[in-house]
Structure 1
Amino acid sequence: MEKQKERSFQVQDLGSGDGEDLSLDEVECSVLRQNIRLLYYMGLWPMESSWAYHCYTVFNLTSSAAIILMNVIGVCYSLSDIDQVTGALSTILPMSGGLINGLFLLKQRPTICRMVRTIDRLVASQRQYFQRDAQLDAIVARARRQTLLVTVGVSGYLFAIASYWIVIAFTLPPSLRVLPFVQLPWMPSSGLGLFWFTFAAQLYTAPFCSYTTLFVQFFFLAVMLHLSAQFKVLGSRFASLGRSLPSKAAVDSDVVYEELRLCVKTHQELLRFVRFLDDVMSPFAMMQFVAGTLAVCVVLFQAANNQDLNTNLKCAGWLPGPSLELFIYCGGAHEVVHGGEALVEAAYDCLWYNVAPRVGRTVRLVITRAQVPPVLTAGHLYPITRPTFVSLVNAAYSYYALLSQMQNK
């Protein structure tokens, strides 16, 4: 209970004095502006109060919910066929994840706006240090570049796979009436109007839900990479304490202690932001871990057990997708943990043996505190690290083995 009160206080403190929405000027100046614009295009981040934009948001979410419900009803008609059920789940799970991500984001948007302002303040507070150091500036630039590369690469991969699914559905004879993503048992006997309406609805909502999931993940990935870069900039500040001063006498002066005090203050702010980020991102990560693990399981089952060549190719191409979505969270969180742990060595590298006793005592406290690395969790239950990604893949394979045994019986 005390931890929950402490977390609530920290969230309120980080967001104190902030308005609910980000202005256009704030978005343009933010280090997350590209990710915010991607969410804007999906109808999930209104940067201006517009009736038409709100209608666009409602249309996207309601149409996605309707198609997911239709697909679930279709699965209920095929419960006796495990191939049909797992094939439908391989699409229903990512679509449901995208819808839930969108709803979570809209609900949490005031808090996420505060988070954007906070990470911008943290970057601005250390800008004077990394702008005058080419190596540190390259570290901060690398965070932006990595986010862009992951966004373009994974989005392009998903677009290529979705295009293949759509092309296959168009190239088959019209008499088969094959839908692009989820097959419904009543389609062969339905009219052409209903078939093409359902075809168009799936064609719109399935990519929308998939890209919603991805863009939310890219947003949090950008936050984690920028946070990791700020830990590295802080580590450089710790390591350079006393080295830029001209003499040993100066090393013992109040200048070093003042710089150390500023470093400790920045360290505390970064740790507070990690806890704030954990509160905001934790439900998103937990939902993705559950949906992604199950998606890997059913897609692997389809790829390994289906006799249709087109289905095998579609599932084999889609199989890396849920795994990449799991790794986005785990890889980004691992960078934050690594950046926090690196402060131990950075603080030890400063001239602690050549400074006044009060400076040395403070450096020892910093080293002791940095030995407890920052942690991001899923649902406040599971730490998000690279080993967590391996355990999730192992769990997905275990579920796949269980499904295979059920089919063999």
Structure 2
Amino acid sequence: MKTPKSLLKNIQDNLKEASVESILWCINLTPRIAGFSITSRRISGIQVNTEINKLVCRVIILSQDAIMSVVVINYQSLLLFLIAHTAAMFDLIAEEMKALNILEGLVDNGVKEKLASLIKRHILLLHIVQCLRDLYSLPLGIDFAANAYCMCLFFSLPLEDWISFAPVLGYCFLVFFLYCYLCQKLVDVSEVFEASVYDCGWENYVLSDRRSVLIVLLQAQQPVMIKAGNIVPVNIYTFASAMQGIYKFVTALKF
């Protein structure tokens, strides 16, 4: 049984080498820790059949890959759901703000109560957007860079290898597009809400309600945008620019 220090040294040595054997050693790392090895007949001091050894290693590696895939997909699905849900809530309060126009600003029609509710809900949505920025900004930046890198690598492959790696390209493209599309949707509905504040019939309200509308308007003018790595704004223009950059890279590389 190897000590953690010797195992760490072996990992560092294999990561430094750019060879197929080093890559296979890293892939076989998890089974090796459990006492198995694709390239050995011995399992914890027991002489066994090579095919059984390889089968156990493959099961361990496939289980590891399946767990990682489930975790990553759940993480990305949760983020996409949160962005889509927040955009839907912005759209909903925008419609409710426009509906205030039919109340004609009368106090007994509940304008004051509805404005107070809309102000609280809008503050809550802005807080949710800020939480999304704080929690997902750095992971989103890493995800963006990884997806763009994978797409560039895909198009740098020979044409005969494209079919084998087409699912990887489709996954990276879909995730990249959904992030940009939903974040652009969030920006659009926040601007719709800002416009609905002007259309709520505030000119017919009493003075106290006009002040409440002014508070909502000041809040609505705050930019609602999620940035990847706190640098790159996530929107449909970023997606178009990235696709254009990848196209230029592939054109320069291939032709």
Q: Same fold (TM over 0.5)?
A: yes
5+ residue gaps, structure 1, are 1-68, 80-84, 93-185
Within a 5 Å distance, the mapping from 1:132-281 to structure 2 comes to 192=51, 195-241=54-100, 243=102, 245=103, 251-253=106-108, 255-281=110-136
How far apart are the structure 2 equivalents of 1:208 and 1:401?
Answer: 37
Q: Report the CA distance shift for 1:279/1:366 in structure 2 as closer, same or farther (over 3 A).
A: same
Q: Distance in 1 between matches of 2:74 and 2:101?
A: 43
CA distance in 2, matches of 1:334, 1:356: 36
Decide whether the 8 Å contact of 2:154 with 2:162 is kept in 1. Answer: no
Deviations 1:192-228 (A, max 9, x none): 5565455444433334333322221101111111111
Aligned to 2:32: none
**Aligned with 2:234 (options 384, 393, 402):** 384
1:4-403 paired onto structure 2 within 5 Å: 76-77=18-19, 192=51, 195-241=54-100, 243=102, 245=103, 251-253=106-108, 255-302=110-157, 305-307=158-160, 311-401=161-251
SS of alignment partner, residue 240 of structure 1: helix
State the 1:74 CA deviation.
11
Residues 108-135 of structure 1: per-residue CA shift (max 9 Å, x gap): xxxxxxxxxxxxxxxxxxxxxxxxxxxx
Residues matched between the structures, number: 221
Letter in 1 for 2:133: D
Q: Normalized against structure 2, the TM-score is what? A: 0.72
Question: What percent of counterpart residues are identical?
Answer: 23
Contact 1:240 1:350 in 2 (8 A): yes
Contact 1:238 1:346 in 2 (8 A): yes
Amino acid at match of 2:199: D
Larger-Rg structure? 2
Deviations 1:312-337 (A, max 9, x none): 32123432111112123222222222
**Helix, strand or coil at the partner of 2:110:** helix
Q: Displacement of 1:403 after TM fit?
A: 5.2
Tell me if the contact between 2:226 and 2:234 (Cα under 8 Å) persists in the aligned partners: yes
Deviation, structure 1 residue 73: 5.2
> Are 2:151 and 2:172, in contact at CA under 8 Å, matched by a contact in 1?
yes
Aligned 8 A contact 1:323 1:393 in 2: no
Q: Deviations over 1:51-104 (max 9, x none)?
A: xxxxxxxxxxxxxxxxxx79x85982159xxxxx9xx9xxx9xxxxxxxxxxxx
Taking a change above 3 Å as real, the CA distance of residues 290 and 75 of structure 1, as seen in their structure-2 partners, is farther
What TM-score results when the alignment is normalised by the length of structure 1? 0.47
Distance in 2 (alpha carbons) for counterparts of 1:269 and 1:252: 25
State whether residues 377 and 383 of structure 1, in contact with CA within 8 Å, keep that contact through their aligned partners in structure 2: yes
